[in-house]
Structure 1
């Protein structure tokens, strides 16, 4: 009997044995890079199926799809789009992280996920037939991974599955793919710490606020404070930012800081009293506060994907909105090099948003170099502040 720990390897073997990798339109992807992506893809499929099976309405869905997949021809895999359905707004950020780590396109990862889902469901269908499992029994078999949910938006990874092989299990750190999972976990913990850190230790949790500034409009969004600092005085003389939940349509939520980039963007878009001023190019810029680049490069770090995924999710809820992304540097180095670097960094942010599902037609990237510094370049702290990427809504 195939064990749960062996499933990721079995999925890959099934895909290769049936020639599913060759039949997909993977373009000019390097075979080695595709092979490097497969373990992460297989793990994500299994974690997503476990998450779906943990839900009452999803349990029967997995069971029925498994039986359907077992009887379907290899050329017609079942379950296309299922992982995207489970992850919702987490999908694009997770796919982008896998693609970046493996060196393949995000579209390739999405195709591999569909094929791997069909292979996984087929294997599960075989187990259902072999053991005459009911839907609850299949869900119970998957249960060990239900405690390891797929990470939130822009975490970019999947929960680890047990190592495959006979005899004693190798160290979890022995797998190269697990180093990515560990890095992703650090990002998730850091994001959680950011949210928790914005709460007052003495604040009472209050009922969510009823509506946002757009309550009277046709938009389906609300900004909901999750803590009420007015109910009890805080020890610090400084006002502590309140975390908010952005309630997007289809039940999608983002928990963010009240003064974060995401909150400022959302509130600007949802508030009908805030308009775009085409005559003042310096007005209403919103700085990204959690995206970072490698030193002197335009290469985004992995932790930047979290915020970019959040921003992409918000922009997709406001389909008419267009934004300009501006890159800036401090005054050290050659002005021309700084200008080029600032444009490349703005473009990198734009490219990431496109890969996360935002149409290119809604985005522009501009490099401003040392223009519009917002802090003194006389100190390292000031120079760090000036090295930034911001965005401006140019159409609502």
Structure 2
């Protein structure tokens, strides 16, 4: 029987042996990044299944799924659906963020990761199912076997760089201090420690600090480390990295951190940051008499050309927005769609409406109650840039949100 530590490798090999990756993915992705992506998703699937096995309510479900997968064989459609659904259940509102971050880490597209998040968990079920059948494990024994995987981090598999060929007569220079694994690890740990220390120093308690706007022209003051903790369920908006006064133009990312462990790292001027600041700041009030006031543009959601179909990468920001709205359960928002002036006005109006509705439906699918959301299309009304350049037209094709209740 394959050991638990070797299961991710066995999953990766299983996928290759049975040619389970779709042909269009194989044609568009480079072999090394694709292999790295499969390995990362395999480790993610194992950790996710270990989490499920640790929950008594899900233990039997996982055990039955592994046995069925082993019996069905590789590539079974039912197994693929079950495997993807199980992992999605574990990830919950982390799912879309996982797609984006894993794609970036592996150097592949979000569509490829979405495919692998269906394929690889199914393969994992089959591999685990073989072990269950061979060892005649009960659901409890399977859970015990998987337990060590619960806290194993998913780290990118390094792609080895080609070794440079020495030039005749030239003595190679000593390797860089940073090239040594132990020293490189020390640097990484030091950076993380500095970032965490800066995080502690900049943390504030209560709404007053959280509502202070984060700018790129001032350095936040430090607070005592032993100060009061933020109340449960409260986000803290803080700079992720402290800046030197000698670099005033450096961008400042913001961490929206929840005490139960949920956190977002986003840009200070991003949609998420602006929405959060508006909701948390008691001085910012909804103006029911001015429908044009306080609109916040989505800055990272996109649609297929001339369609209301959201691209995969758009779901990351929508997932972030859904997470913020869940932390402010009384808040309601309106979503507005806009187009440039190309084409027929009526077609543009309908397209803008359908795009706003698509964003709304995505938020609903991410757990935001439908009665907290409204959607409307405005077509070419309120263009924010000239339509005589491609850049201007691109800016005008947008979706925005407005808080209608806090």
CA distance in 1, matches of 2:294, 2:373: 16
Q: Do the aligned residues in 2 keep the contact of 1:321 with 1:362 (CA within 8 Å)?
A: yes
The alignment partner of 2:202 has SS state of coil
CA distance in 2, matches of 1:234, 1:95: 36
Q: Does 1:89 align with 2:93?
A: yes
Q: Does 1:61 align with 2:65?
A: no
Q: Do the aligned residues in 2 keep the contact of 1:247 with 1:253 (CA within 8 Å)?
A: yes
Partner of 1:343: 353
CA distance in 2, matches of 1:71, 1:342: 43
Q: Does 1:147 align with 2:155?
A: yes
List alignment gaps of at least 5 residues for structure 1: 12-41, 150-203
Partner of 2:207: 213
CA distance in 1, matches of 2:65, 2:292: 61
Query: Following TM superposition, by how much is the alpha carbon of 1:395 offset from its aligned partner in structure 2, in angstroms?
Result: 1.3
Aligned length: 304
CA RMSD for the aligned pairs? 5.3
CA distance in 1, matches of 2:124, 2:369: 27
Q: Do the aligned residues in 2 keep the contact of 1:205 with 1:227 (CA within 8 Å)?
A: yes
After superposition, give the CA deviation of every residue in 1:254-286 in whole Å (9 maximum; x if it has no partner).
110011001111111122222211111001100
The alignment partner of 1:90 has SS state of helix
Query: Following TM superposition, by how much is the alpha carbon of 1:82 offset from its aligned partner in structure 2, in angstroms?
Result: 6.7
CA distance in 2, matches of 1:326, 1:120: 47
Q: Do the aligned residues in 1 keep the contact of 2:384 with 2:395 (CA within 8 Å)?
A: yes
Partner of 1:179: none
The 1:227–1:316 alpha-carbon spacing in structure 2 relative to 1, beyond 3 Å, is: same
Query: Following TM superposition, by how much is the alpha carbon of 1:287 offset from its aligned partner in structure 2, in angstroms?
Result: 0.1
Query: Following TM superposition, by how much is the alpha carbon of 1:307 offset from its aligned partner in structure 2, in angstroms?
Result: 0.8
Q: 1:226 aligns with which of 230, 240, 252?
A: 240
Q: 1:253 aligns with which of 263, 271, 279?
A: 263
Larger Rg: 2
The 1:308–1:140 alpha-carbon spacing in structure 2 relative to 1, beyond 3 Å, is: closer
Query: Following TM superposition, by how much is the alpha carbon of 1:65 offset from its aligned partner in structure 2, in angstroms?
Result: 4.6
After superposition, give the CA deviation of every residue in 1:88-120 in whole Å (9 maximum; x if it has no partner).
5313666999xx969x9xxxx99x999999877
CA distance in 2, matches of 1:86, 1:141: 12
CA distance in 1, matches of 2:146, 2:258: 34
Q: Does 1:50 align with 2:42?
A: no
TM-score, length-scaled by structure 1: 0.59
CA distance in 1, matches of 2:150, 2:365: 35
Partner of 2:402: 392
